[in-house]
Structure 1
């Protein structure tokens, strides 16, 4: 679920408004290093006030795309525009962009205040204005009381906020963040994600975040661009990417998923039926797809959407049975690996809304699994 809310009409986000003009435009951008293509003809529009996440694994091209936007890497072909201006030939220091790196790159010999003020002083901003802007920014990141400390006297989360303040104090139109929270532990990272969202909303600056962390992208982003092998394979709001993946790669990359195989045996405008040996029968899906008769497909089932029961359910569609092979109690939820009669294993997660829910089932119990007719996603790619 996206927590960020960019400026837009009350009912329609800016990227869905017909008359909205993109703030950042990638037009068929390619980057090659010798014979290796790191980014392959990417076209992408990002709008003012968005918190856009580029999400992908190592080597997917996301950081290269960000570095081209910042001007640290040249474009092999295509072009990049910021606020309608072609950035071809524009050096990094003349672009309306600031970049925050994963390492934070703070000066260890300078105080927090002087780290934040460094860029302003380099630009010759008057001292009085420097002091006022630095104080305002440190208050915004809740570090006003630590201005005299050195980076070595701060926690990881505090150093991250100093780096953010330093990047924002120059009032860039666009802030680029490359794995900004990667150095933080899980709990601090989760807390800092919401702080980052609040700061972005308060300032209205456009953020583009590169991350390999799916949960981080889902939490932060207004929209996500999923990258693989130098291409953007799907763009959408977090819930669209999760609930309506357009390929096996996206379904498997975003969150946990059970992937089944089957063959279309009934294809109607409002539903399809898939012969699925994995579940020992057929699966009914209440939406049509565009495919050929008898086409082989993949079926994506999210673990949290599968119900588990010791007794046969009342419904007759989308039911299978198996033996519990593994159980993992994770506090807020329990994870079950159920080995179906076909030998296929399905992962099922259930929230522990009551204290003893995790004790309802044990290893080797025979259970029934079932799910709704709108739950499965049929994938032809």
Structure 2
């Protein structure tokens, strides 16, 4: 029997489980805390993850994401709280009795064994018949496009090929849940980007729930159905990539995910369908086309992504959402250009513009006086 034949298949037309109010979570983390002496690595975390998700735990070093992953795997016992997988409390179940497999960043391949022997190792330890082991190994190697390299040793493979061997070894045992700890961290940038799409293809084809730990924001944004951002042992926001980027819940998330310009301001007006915030650095008003539910004179932060800003030599015809300054830095990145603009207030603003045309004529450059403007729906007001 092939690996794919025993796994539920996903359908792109189906409404995602996490958007269904009556869907039962496949993994439920209930008020999990993990302490090492006086240090709290994970602090009262609750999280639901659904069948067939590719969920990313994203955070910096020491945020608690790897500790949470190790508790899911059974390598660490929670100090308090529960971990429920497929309806069963696994909080104190040893790793070898959980329907879970884990792929480590180092891949941990046996150097003296061939590719097929590495993949078959766990199945043979379980005592499966040789014919079934051979069939399942051949199926999974074909799925990761390594069937033609089955007899090679790990040292004869590229980094990306070793990564796929480790993935095949994790998948061949048909786990209900696959945990991946920085799975692409050892690959170079171009190969990492290619492998991200390969990982997504496999996850969708097999229908296995993946939980990926990463510190790479772009990787999480590319891979994930949803992202959980961790900081100091707590999850500060859980959302789909688009919502995480466009609607961060607080300043930490806004600054952690991608690039952002942040301005301190004071609420001037707040109506049901509009609001204005005065920002000293912008020397003017930020106008929003929606209410923000804040008190008058409340201090807030206004976040504007660099790509939301328009940069022109001519002044925009608008009383709000505008400022001006001088270009101090220019970086040509191929697909886009990055400009740093110093405003009259001394504040420096980052602007990115796509290079849609090969020759754009009179290019903006250092020391040019420019005007910046943005739409009413381009800024986000943050109260924390």
The answer for the alignment partner of 2:177 in structure 1 is 174
Which aligned pairs between 1:22-37 and structure 2 lie closer than 5 A?
22-37=25-40
Once residues 89 and 313 of structure 1 are traced to their aligned partners in structure 2, the CA distance between those partners, rounded to angstroms, is 62
Give secondary structure in 2 for the equivalent of 1:357. Answer: coil
> What secondary structure is seen at the aligned counterpart in 2 of 1:377?
strand
Q: What is the TM-score when the length of structure 2 is the normalising length?
A: 0.96
Match of 1:3 in 2: none
**Residue number in structure 1 paired with 2:247:** 244
Q: Distance in 1 between matches of 2:94 and 2:171?
A: 19
Partner in structure 2 of residue 336 of structure 1: 339
Looking at structure 2, the residues matched to 373 and 11 of structure 1 have their Cα atoms a distance apart, in angstroms, of 34
Alignment of 1:58-207 (within 5 A): 58-207=61-210
Bigger Cα displacement from structure 2, 290-299 vs 174-183: 290-299
SS of match in other structure, 2:281: helix
Q: Where does residue 292 of structure 2 map in the other structure? A: 289
| Aligned-partner Cα distance in 1 for 2:210–2:30 | 19
**Distance verdict in 2 for CA 1:327–1:93, change over 3 Å:** same
Distance change >3 Å, CA 11–CA 138, structure 1 → 2: closer
Deviation by residue 1:93-140 (Cα, 9 ceiling, x = unmatched): 000000000000000000000000000000001000111100000000
Q: Does the C-alpha gap of structure 1 residues 30 and 204 become closer, same or farther in structure 2, counting only changes over 3 Å?
A: same
Which blocks of at least 5 consecutive residues in structure 1 are unaligned? 1-5
**TM-score, normalising length: structure 1:** 0.97
1-side partners of 2:381 and 2:261: how far apart?
12
Q: Which residue of 1 aligns with 2:382?
A: 379
Q: Distance in 2 between matches of 1:25 and 1:322?
A: 50
Deviation beyond 3 Å, 4+ runs, structure 1 = 6-11
What SS does structure 2 have at the residue aligned with 1:278? coil
Q: CA deviation at 1:272?
A: 1.0
Secondary structure at the aligned position of 2:70 is classed as helix
Structure 1 residues 369, 64: closer, same or farther in 2, change over 3 A? same
Counterpart for residue 319 of structure 2: 316
Instruction: Indicate if the aligned counterparts of 2:35 and 2:41 stay in contact, CA closer than 8 A.
Output: yes
Could you tell me how far 1:12 is from its partner in structure 2?
A: 2.8
Aligned length in residues: 376
Q: 1:279 aligns to what SS in structure 2?
A: coil
2: CA distance, partners of 1:315 / 1:292: 26
Maintained 8 Å contact 1:262/1:298: yes
Quote the offset at 1:291 in angstroms. Answer: 1.7
Aligned Cα RMSD in Å?
A: 1.2
CA distance in 2, matches of 1:197, 1:331: 27
Larger CA deviation: 351-360 vs 238-247: 351-360
Which residue in the other structure is 2:261 paired with? 258
Could you list the runs of 5+ residues in structure 2 that have no partner in the other structure? 1-8
